[in-house]
Amino acid sequence: MFPETVLHSRRLLLRAFDAGDITDTLASCSDSLTQRWLPLPRPYTLDDATAWCTTTAHAMRDSGDGIQFAVTDADSKRLVGQVGLKKTDWRALVSEVGYWVSPWARGRGIAVEATRTLAHWLLTDQRFQRMELRAAAENAASQEVAIKAGFHREGTLRNAGFVHGARVDLVLFSLLPGDLGSSTDPTEHR
């Protein structure tokens, strides 16, 4: 399993979810854009947010599936999103990133900065060899995040995903250690 970890970038602090995140997680995961693209419970309830913050996110690390981070503003400490790894293949050293950004924090490069920060940790500290990202073919914002974070577009996985019962094509992106560049600053691309 991944070690419990706190990560920093220029504007962000990435840490484990806790009970103090429940209200902001409820607001973020009930939001229509988050609901549009992620297969979350609908409606997303207080019980769902409580389970995620106190149990589910932690269980994903304990099981070896991945690790989930609450993305917070380093100054205000407020939750601004989620970034995490899932479907980790420990033999191949491949893991898949996923994220959402809270409605009050969108359009400021938070998703790119959080993804780059996690990628640096995974591909350098953790010595993984590949980070994958899958975005629905119509989710233009998420594909823009992938490109701005330095991922390479590899192709379309036809009919590979589902969002609330509807089948969707997924676009597959990857990031390798050699794609990170020589900078040690995860936000150097901005």
Ligand X SMILES: CC(C)(COP(=O)(O)OP(=O)(O)OC[C@H]1O[C@@H](n2cnc3c(N)ncnc32)[C@H](O)[C@@H]1OP(=O)(O)O)[C@@H](O)C(=O)NCCC(=O)NCCS
Residues within window 97-116 making contact with ligand X, judged by CB under 6 A: 99-101, 106-112
Residue 52 CB, shortest distance to ligand X, in Å, is 15
> To 5 degrees, how large is the angle CA 58–CA 139–CA 2?
20
Q: How far apart are CA 152 and CA 188, in angstroms?
A: 18
Taking CB under 6 A as the criterion, the residue among 142, 150, 173, 175 binding ligand X is 142
Quick one: 3 or 107, whose CB is closer to ligand X? 107
Within residues 44-83, the interface with ligand X by CB under 6 A covers none
Residue 30: name the closest of 115, 102, 127, 89 by CA. Answer: 102
Q: Please identify, among the stretches 33-41, 43-51, 64-72, 122-130, the one whose residues bind ligand X according to the rule CB under 6 A.
A: 33-41
Rounded Cα distance, 42 and 138, in Å: 20
Among 76, 134, 67, smallest CA distance to 105 is for 76
* 35 alpha-carbon distance from chain centroid: 15
What is the closest distance, in whole angstroms, from the C-beta atom of residue 91 to ligand X in the complex? 25
**Residue 94 vs 163, nearer CB to ligand X:** 163
Please name the amino acid found at residue 124. Answer: T
Nearer to ligand X, 40 or 94 (CB): 40
- Nearer Cβ to ligand X (4/23): 23
Q: Which is nearer to ligand X, 16 or 33 (CB)?
A: 33
In whole angstroms, what is the distance from residue 42 CA to residue 64 CA?
A: 27
| Contacting residue, 9, 25, 34, 95, with ligand X by CB under 6 A | 34
Q: Are 173 and 167 in contact (CB under 8 A)?
A: no
Residue with tokens 């690790």: 67
Question: Does the protein bind ligand X through residue 135 (CB under 6 A)?
Answer: yes
Interface contacts to ligand X, rule CB under 6 A: 33-34, 37-38, 99-101, 106-112, 135, 139-142, 144-145, 148
